[in-house]
């Protein structure tokens, strides 16, 4: 993949708010009144493979930058009640998923490693009781290094986990202090080294750019420290500063944040550094070694994107469990209650916690397919796409193509025959390009973070 080209002159024009397109339509468009029968029917009608996402909301300490659904508590017993609720939820879905086998399980949060040894064992026992796992199932988990020691890491391997993702964000002490997340390089290095010794198949490190007090020199040091750990994958996320939505972010002073131009410089530094080190850019915010399954999927044109980000998973059923979790199964998207107390109440009163959802219309499916192609492969063969969906591309997307004119004029995209190609100059702005094909965006734009 070609190195991105950085043009600061585009910032004023294109650094607008827009979705991350982990789905289309986005989760903000889900509506109340979604019927649980629709979810169960969708699960019964999809293919034989099932992907599970399980959300563990608990954290022991508040990270100021975090926009995830979380509950801050040091009371370990709260997790016991949560596991009981999860079992109710698993029972609700059991019959509808009986004919399927779990190909992938991902534990996210929050902090999944908030769970202690007994709770982790109990959770996996429950999952294997209510779902049938493929012998080759891939189990992955997000880890806050502060909540994981060598014994817990060994337990995760014993329980069948083969992929781990460590939240690094930044190694600079000033940045860590400003986001209330202190963790040393040595702490992370010890866990990464142990992961390799224990036989974990894949190690991912998460980074965030745009955090308070980040500077090119210190971020360059962080990148070199990350490279010294030789991870299989690196995730590079943009910090979304939305203090009106996330109260903890109000503890971060606005003046400490890099402006758009400085943030773009941090992104450019990271992308260039990682690509020069031999990592392949996956979509817009992931990097992987060329032999990694994500990189191979991209090379073969099989990369996909869902609520977990970029994935090589080819299942058409992603089932989310736990508070706030989102599912996408066939043509249905739904989300659980986002408030923990409401989640408990819904399970107690009705046996499920579905809150909002929607069925994708034919237009939704068409546009989702197009946006996914641009997000994953940076190109779209309009003739093949038109044949697939039995439509006249120019007529069907007449309004979208008009919206695309500025991107064409600024050489963010170009037509190569009948293939719409995102240029190296346009890759930082792929979300803007995709937004041209988003039928919902006009009324929703203010709900999203800036694209850089």
What CATH number is attached to the domain comprising 440? 1.10.10.920
Burial 225-246 (b: 16+ CB within 10 A, else e): bbbebebbbbbbebbbbeeeeb
What pLDDT is attached to residue 311?
Answer: 85
Last residue of a domain, one of 296, 320, 344: 320
What pLDDT is attached to residue 284?
Answer: 72
H or E element at residue 250: none
Q: Are 429 and 394 contained in the same domain?
A: yes
Q: Are 432 and 445 contained in the same domain?
A: yes
Q: Are 132 and 11 contained in the same domain?
A: no
Q: Are 33 and 17 contained in the same domain?
A: no
Q: Are 403 and 448 contained in the same domain?
A: yes
Q: Are 421 and 434 contained in the same domain?
A: yes
Residue 352 is assigned to a structural domain of this protein: no
**What residues are paired with 306 via a beta bridge?**
309
Residue 349 is assigned to a structural domain of this protein: no
Contact predicate 121/152, CB 8 Å: no
Tokens coding 72: 């801050």
Strand spans (E) along 360-450: 379-381, 413-416, 419-422
Low-confidence stretches of the chain (pLDDT < 70) are: 1-6, 8, 442-452
- Measured CA distances, 1 to 8, 277, 278, 304, 375 (Å): 21, 13, 11, 17, 14
Q: Are 121 and 195 contained in the same domain?
A: yes
Q: Are 85 and 205 contained in the same domain?
A: yes
Last residue of a domain, one of 261, 289, 320: 320
The count of structural domains within the chain is 2
Structural domain including 256 reads 27-320
Closest CA to 144 of 70, 230, 53, 246: 70
Q: Are 12 and 151 contained in the same domain?
A: no
What pLDDT is attached to residue 307?
Answer: 82
What pLDDT is attached to residue 226?
Answer: 98
Q: Are 21 and 31 contained in the same domain?
A: no
Q: Are 78 and 186 contained in the same domain?
A: yes
Residue 337 is assigned to a structural domain of this protein: no
Give the contacts of 416 (CB within 8 A, at least 6 positions apart).
none
What pLDDT is attached to residue 99?
Answer: 95
Q: Are 38 and 1 contained in the same domain?
A: no
Residue 236 is assigned to a structural domain of this protein: yes
Residue 407 is assigned to a structural domain of this protein: yes
Last residue of a domain, one of 302, 320, 338: 320
For residues 107 and 167, what is the distance between their CA atoms, to the nearest angstrom?
14
Closest CA to 18 of 438, 423, 448, 372: 448
Query: What's the distance, Cα to Cα, between the start and end of the chain in Å?
Result: 20
What pLDDT is attached to residue 424?
Answer: 87
H or E element at residue 91: helix 77-94
């Amino acid at each position: 993949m070609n190195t991105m080209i950085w043009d600061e002159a585009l910032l004023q024009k294109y650094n607008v708010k827009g979705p991350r397109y982990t789905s289309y339509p986005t989760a903000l468009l889900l509506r109340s009144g979604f019927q649980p029968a629709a979810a169960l029917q969708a699960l019964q009608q999809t293919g034989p493979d099932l992907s599970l996402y399980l959300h563990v909301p608990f954290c022991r300490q508040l990270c100021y930058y975090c926009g995830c659904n979380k509950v801050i508590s040091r009371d370990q017993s709260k997790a016991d009640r949560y596991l009981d609720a999860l079992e109710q939820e698993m029972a609700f879905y059991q019959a509808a998923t009986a004919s399927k086998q779990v190909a992938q399980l991902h534990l996210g949060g929050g902090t999944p490693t908030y769970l202690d040894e007994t709770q982790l064992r109990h959770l996996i026992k429950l999952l294997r009781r209510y779902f049938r796992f493929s012998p080759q199932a891939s189990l992955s988990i997000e880890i806050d290094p502060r909540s994981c020691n060598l014994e817990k890491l060994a337990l995760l391997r014993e329980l069948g986990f083969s992929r781990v993702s460590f939240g690094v964000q930044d190694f600079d002490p000033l940045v860590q202090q400003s986001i209330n997340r202190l963790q040393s390089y040595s702490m992370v290095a010890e866990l990464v080294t142990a992961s390799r010794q224990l036989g974990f198949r894949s190690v991912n490190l998460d980074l965030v750019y745009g955090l308070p007090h980040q500077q090119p020199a210190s971020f360059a040091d962080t990148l070199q420290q990350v490279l010294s750990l030789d991870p299989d994958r690196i995730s590079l996320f943009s910090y979304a500063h939305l203090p009106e939505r996330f109260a903890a972010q109000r503890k971060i002073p606005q003046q400490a944040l890099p402006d758009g131009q400085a943030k773009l410089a941090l992104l450019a530094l990271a992308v260039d550094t990682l690509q020069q080190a031999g990592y392949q850019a996956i979509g817009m915010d992931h990097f992987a070694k060329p032999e990694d399954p994500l990189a191979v999927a991209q090379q073969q044109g099989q990369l996909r994107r869902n609520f977990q980000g970029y994935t090589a998973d080819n299942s058409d059923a992603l089932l989310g469990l736990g508070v706030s979790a989102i599912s996408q199964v066939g043509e249905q998207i739904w989300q659980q209650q986002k408030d923990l107390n409401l989640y408990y109440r819904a399970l107690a009163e009705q046996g499920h916690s579905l809150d909002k959802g929607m069925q994708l219309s034919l237009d939704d499916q068409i546009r989702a397919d197009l946006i996914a192609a641009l997000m994953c492969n940076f190109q779209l063969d309009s003739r093949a796409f038109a044949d697939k969906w039995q439509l006249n591309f120019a007529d069907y997307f007449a309004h979208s193509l008009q919206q695309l004119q500025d991107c064409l004029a600024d050489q963010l995209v170009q037509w190569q025959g009948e293939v719409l190609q995102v240029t190296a100059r346009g890759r930082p702005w792929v979300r803007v390009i995709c937004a041209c094909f988003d039928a919902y965006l006009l009324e929703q734009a203010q709900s999203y973070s800036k694209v850089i």
